[in-house]
Structure 1
Amino acid sequence: MSLTVERTATWQTTCEVDDLEHGWGEVALIGAQQVALVRVADDEVYAVDHHDPHTGAPVMARGIVGSRGERPTIASPLHKQVYDLGTGECFTDASLALRTYRTRVVGGMIEVEIDG
């Protein structure tokens, strides 16, 4: 007999989209998870783990926001590894990846999808 475990996800409201400046990160505490929110355009917000994948330090919201072509990025403020904000792929070290979360803006509020 096999047991199937169903995972559920919930959308958590974090803050107003206008609370974030373009090109800067801020940290949101969602349950016990520290999530870095990065606004790159009026209604384009990304959410990634606040912990640096290389060191484990909670610093990603202070990372350097930029782009590689059309892909928005964030660079760790510690060792400058560059991550794709949408996928978490590390451009500078293939052995690293940054956890990403889906986001949406509803009624001017940023919501982040978190595993339940």
Structure 2
Amino acid sequence: MTAPTTEHHAAAPADGPHSPAATGRPASGPVEIHCPAAGWLPVCGPEALLPGRGVAALLPDGTQAALFLDRGGRIHAIGNRDPFTGAQVLSRGLTGSADGRPFVASPLLKQRFDLLTGDCLDDPSASVPVYRVRVRGGASAG
């Protein structure tokens, strides 16, 4: 029998007493990221995610992802590579929101990337990949 999961899509927190929306923290199981070539991969425990701080993860294909827990309790995952410098630093960026949308600002040149779409808010010609995220063993999504 497989443990239930909470899958986080861009703007929708999961429901339930242990959901990010109810506690401000992810559910109890491992946080997993969906990689197109490798399927669902465990990345970290929920205790590693703190609002406003990123966590970097090395993916099987050699790329990196940056995971964030926003202040609303939602988990987001984007590519960690800053397209303007090529450095793997977005997980170290500052988080915030613009017009109600969560973003991370690169710690190098300060361009802001939408955590829901990966689009650069400061230069429409740039973007980063966005990954689906879920928490194993959490309440089912609503």
Q: What TM bracket, shorter-length normalisation?
A: 0.7 to 0.9
Select between 82-91 and 35-44 the one with higher mean Cα deviation: 35-44
> What is the RMSD of the two structures over their aligned residues, measured on CA atoms?
1.8
Higher relative contact order (CA 8 A, sep 6+): 2
SS for the counterpart of 1:73 is strand
Q: 2:92 aligns with which of 55, 62, 65?
A: 62
Q: Which residue in the other structure is 2:40 paired with?
A: 11
Deviations 1:53-87 (A, max 9, x none): 11111111011100112211001111111110010
Correspondence for 1:83: 113
- Normalized per residue, the structure richer in strand is 1
Q: Number of matched residues?
A: 102
With normalisation by structure 1, the TM-score equals 0.79
* CA distance, structure 1, for counterparts of residue 48 and residue 127 of structure 2: 27
- Matched with 1:71 is 101
Q: Flag structure 1 segments of 5+ consecutive residues without an equivalent.
A: 1-6, 109-116
Structure 1: 4+ residue segments shifted above 2 A: none
The gaps in structure 2 that reach 5 residues or longer are: 1-35
For residue 44 of structure 1, the aligned residue among 53, 68, 74 is 74
What's the secondary structure of 1:11's corresponding residue?
A: strand
How many angstroms apart in 1 are the aligned matches of 2:126 and 2:65? 18
TM-score normalised by length of structure 2: 0.66
One-letter code aligned to 1:28: A
Instruction: Give the % identical residues.
Output: 42
